[in-house]
Structure 1
Amino acid sequence: MNFRLLPEWAEQDAIMLTWPHKDTDWADNLAHVEPVYIELAKHITAQQQLVVVAHNELLKTYIISLLNKAEINLERVHFVVTPTNDTWARDHGPLTCSALDNADQLKIYDFTFNGWGNKFESKLDNQINHTLVKALSDKKNQYQVLDLVLEGGGVEINEHGVLLTTSECLLNKNRNPNLSPNDIETLLKSHLGATHFLWVDHGYLAGDDTDSHIDTLVRFAPNNTLVYVKCDDKSDEHYNALNAMEKQLQSFKTADNTPYSLIELPWPKAVYDNEQTRLPATYANYLIINNTVLVPIYADANDELALTQVQKAYPKHNVVGVNCLPIIEQFGSLHCITMQLPRGFLAGAA
């Protein structure tokens, strides 16, 4: 049976959040970060179910009190209690494929998460998926653990099986040093059902620990559309790299040899933390849920334009801005802290 990774706009059962806690790098910023998680929980449960990974039972009880106070329907919330290092569900979460000849048959892949090239401790986070699948997944789904380092934020796929990624991330020797580019393509064709690859060779964000994850730079939308960040400030350190990225995107061709439709996202003003380290603010790090796209905003003059541009890419969805200034304090954004679980993932979800 052949399987293919589902695009993010496929129908979903739930979104997974791994909740921040005092034993993570969020400790000093929890008062600012928790309201963002609560807002996300409201938006998500209005459309579908929510899975919350909690570090321990004490944290679960605390989260329940926060959700109750926010009047969130707890019947739409599922908890998984397991120790966690951090909160980046996009990268330690599962990647879910569906059978090409039977959309109801899912295969859940548990790739290896090594803290973005062994930059950070990740042993606990790398065990979350096993507990998640055992606790909540429908028993008809297949589950496979793979000895291949791959993060969800590092790959995008569209409805045609075209896989979009960056060479800086997937070919980085801090991930799979013994694999050639051809080896990686072969494995991702086999496991994720990729039919073709678009390798982005340019572009980065200052303050990004992921080695240029694609979800900070370029995103797929339906109908052969690419949504990307464009830097129009020639004095900005990112200008040359992102200009080169734009030119490469313009050169990409679809299976029928036509250019992709390109939708540019504006460039937010530079944001810095208290130590004057630049933070990776990007509008590309949005989350698609059922009927809605949640877009990170940064109290920036370009926020409204970003929402307008995302709406062009997903005309059938509502587009909602979520203030992610507290999230980028830890060098990620909205998409990075979430992972979609497609229709059929959860037992009894229907």
Structure 2
Amino acid sequence: MTNTPSPLIPEWEAIDAVILAWPHDQTDWAPWLEETRATYLQVIEQVNAAKAGVILLCRESDIAGVQSRLPASARVLIVSAEFNDTWARDYAFLTCRAAGDTTSPGQPVEFQFNGWGNKFDASLDNRVNQCYLAGMCQLPLKTSDVVAEGGALEIDENGHLLSTAQCLQNPERNGKMTLAQYDDEFRKILDCSEVTIFHQGHLEGDDTDGHIDTLVRFTPSQGLVIQAADNCPEDSHFAGLAALCEECADAFPAHEQFRLPLPEMYNDDGDRLPASYANFLICNDAVLLPVYQQPQDAEAIAVTQAAFPDHTIVPVNCDTLVRQYGSLHCISMQVPVNTLKPSVVAQLNKGVTLYA
């Protein structure tokens, strides 16, 4: 008797919750802490509006402050936790399950996280699943010894996984591990049926070495949303992103491309910021789309609506998040239905509560 394949779940399947980590004064958000927290409150509000709860990792010293800022009706389960930073996409567990089978429990899966190739201390982040989140799930946590981040992985309903060579081949992640070895590991741990690794495209200022969630995203209807630069042919990104679009066409000739415009943003020191409209979060029937108060926002909204005609596009101002070189998808991790224990889901529905 063979086991039913249980690949990584596409983001557009129904979810019960989104995992976030509340910014604190020991993170790199310190210079913009209140602005960043205001953005998180907006994200929480929109996640709740999209019929999902929020599992909010929070330092114990910040819990009272968070509770005072949330409306009592907010569906937020606060989890007292210690963590280095708030990029939950890259260290919170992924979820696998037979495609479309919401009756079977989701399987939580984790890789190792070492701060995007030892760029930053991530020792606390790497313990978040085992210390705080695994006990919330119906099935035990499945762990890989390989270093990889959630933002580096994108999958469709056919189990076709995407990633990028620049990210995977940083030797500070897994030494001399080859792309073929990554292919084998992803098939084993995520039960995917096919792996495509792109070699083109990168955003300046991106600490992740080119995460796929800033570049190429699947849609539920054989589409690819691509962070392109067709609007700015003189931009330094144009050639690389145009080559990425060609790579996508070669790998997925039957898929329609939805090309996003590229915003041009800099920090106070004049460094280019990796602002990407592809860094959206699919949340049930909504797509929470990062916008940056830039002239390209309106076109990005229109392109995303065309890519997701059955979803409501919800713009979320993320100009503060991009100051730390990430955006909306980077701070969040979705939890598909029937992954959490029923008692956890019940508590999520009780308003703002503290997990014990």
TM-score bracket, normalised by the shorter chain, equals over 0.9
Matching of residues 162-241 of structure 1 within 5 Å: 162-232=160-230, 233-241=232-240
Mark the CA change 1:72 to 1:329 in structure 2 (over 3 Å): closer, same or farther. Answer: farther
Measure the CA separation in 2 of the matches of 1:196 and 1:301.
38
- The sequence identity of aligned pairs, in percent, is 38
Matched to 2:127, the amino acid is: Q
Where does residue 87 of structure 1 map in the other structure?
86
Deviations 1:27-63 (A, max 9, x none): 11112111110000101112111100012x2212211
RMSD: 1.5
TM-superposed CA distance for 1:134, in Å, is: 4.1
Matched, 1:66 2:69: yes
Retained in 2: the 8 A contact 1:80–1:135?
A: no
Retained in 2: the 8 A contact 1:20–1:86?
A: yes
Which runs of no fewer than 5 residues in structure 2 stay unpaired? 347-356
Matched, 1:260 2:255: yes
Retained in 2: the 8 A contact 1:218–1:284?
A: yes
Measure the CA separation in 2 of the matches of 1:178 and 1:3.
28
Measure the CA separation in 2 of the matches of 1:3 and 1:213.
24
Where does residue 6 of structure 1 map in the other structure?
9
Where does residue 245 of structure 1 map in the other structure?
244
Measure the CA separation in 2 of the matches of 1:294 and 1:281.
15
Measure the CA separation in 2 of the matches of 1:101 and 1:286.
22
Mark the CA change 1:276 to 1:72 in structure 2 (over 3 Å): closer, same or farther. Answer: farther
Deviations 1:139-167 (A, max 9, x none): xx131222111100001000000101111
Retained in 1: the 8 A contact 2:152–2:164?
A: yes
Mark the CA change 1:273 to 1:11 in structure 2 (over 3 Å): closer, same or farther. Answer: same
Measure the CA separation in 2 of the matches of 1:31 and 1:143.
34
- Corresponding residue SS for 1:211: coil
Measure the CA separation in 2 of the matches of 1:91 and 1:206.
19
- Corresponding residue SS for 2:7: strand
Deviations 1:156-200 (A, max 9, x none): 000000101111112322211142221111111111121112221
Mark the CA change 1:106 to 1:163 in structure 2 (over 3 Å): closer, same or farther. Answer: same
Matched to 1:160, the amino acid is: N
Deviations 1:67-121 (A, max 9, x none): 1xxx2524x2112211110000000111110145954132111210010000000
Measure the CA separation in 2 of the matches of 1:120 and 1:45.
32
Where does residue 51 of structure 1 map in the other structure?
55
Say which of 21, 24, 38 aligns to 2:24. 21
Retained in 2: the 8 A contact 1:12–1:290?
A: yes
- Corresponding residue SS for 2:161: strand
Matched to 1:337, the amino acid is: I
Measure the CA separation in 2 of the matches of 1:182 and 1:209.
24
TM-superposed CA distance for 1:234, in Å, is: 2.5
TM-score (norm 2): 0.91
Mark the CA change 1:27 to 1:101 in structure 2 (over 3 Å): closer, same or farther. Answer: closer
Where does residue 132 of structure 1 map in the other structure?
132
TM-score (norm 1): 0.93
Measure the CA separation in 2 of the matches of 1:83 and 1:32.
21
Matched to 1:171, the amino acid is: Q
Measure the CA separation in 2 of the matches of 1:231 and 1:99.
36
Matched to 2:132, the amino acid is: L
Retained in 1: the 8 A contact 2:229–2:238?
A: yes
TM-superposed CA distance for 1:210, in Å, is: 0.1
Aligned length: 338
Deviations 1:238-280 (A, max 9, x none): 1111111111111113xxxx52211111111x21111111111
Measure the CA separation in 2 of the matches of 1:293 and 1:8.
10
Retained in 2: the 8 A contact 1:219–1:284?
A: yes
Where does residue 270 of structure 2 map in the other structure?
276
Mark the CA change 1:42 to 1:187 in structure 2 (over 3 Å): closer, same or farther. Answer: same
Where does residue 330 of structure 1 map in the other structure?
324
- Corresponding residue SS for 1:4: coil
Measure the CA separation in 1 of the matches of 2:217 and 2:129.
25
Matched, 1:299 2:293: yes
Structure showing greater relative contact order (alpha-carbon pairs closer than 8 Å, 6 or more residues apart): 2
Matched to 2:57, the amino acid is: V
Where does residue 149 of structure 1 map in the other structure?
147
Measure the CA separation in 2 of the matches of 1:107 and 1:262.
31
Retained in 1: the 8 A contact 2:162–2:198?
A: yes
| 204-213 vs 77-86, which moves further | 77-86
Matched to 1:137, the amino acid is: C
